[in-house]
Structure 1
């Protein structure tokens, strides 16, 4: 997405807060697990928003959470419209955010030590 304007950045932050509350309070689906709205990018004209979701677990868990939320995008857009006073509410597209899973994987690789270290001790 192109660079955000200050207004689209503010709208994105507000959408992030609203969606976080609505998802935790209203949506009951076992595939959702422990999901978090990590970021929202809104286009300059405020017509569309990419909502990044991370989920506790592996990449598959995040993919399932995104699938559930994309199915419920019209309802979530309606709830965002109720909470915000915008002329047009951006359409919502949910995307997986794998940064936490990748960070955990890298951390575990670093903690395991060098690959050749175990061979040298014998």
Structure 2
């Protein structure tokens, strides 16, 4: 009886390194790329420190709907989504909200779905 109880308590999670890796990559993107994007779009451009044509609609859409734009959206949108999902999942686990297996599916599934939507928009624009 104690062997089966001990075995169920220490079930190995083989996918945890994947989620921790995405959490780490998303954290780096949050810390490095997002502040740069905010600096350029929300500070320098409105203050007139960048030329207005630097981010004109034509130039921005050309840059976004390309392979570098795909990578940019992956780094600035998708990886931070997995970072946030991991934080939410472990936060909910720490305060004992819900079932961890269900929370895991909801958090990472939501991040994956939103990532597919974001990258799908880029690919759709790229193919037009």
With the length of structure 2 as denominator, give the TM-score of the two structures: 0.27
Structure showing the higher helix proportion among its residues: 2
Structure showing the higher strand proportion among its residues: 1
Q: Tell which structure's C-alpha radius of gyration is larger.
A: 2
Structure of greater relative contact order (alpha carbons < 8 Å, 6+ residues apart):
2
With the length of structure 1 as denominator, give the TM-score of the two structures: 0.27
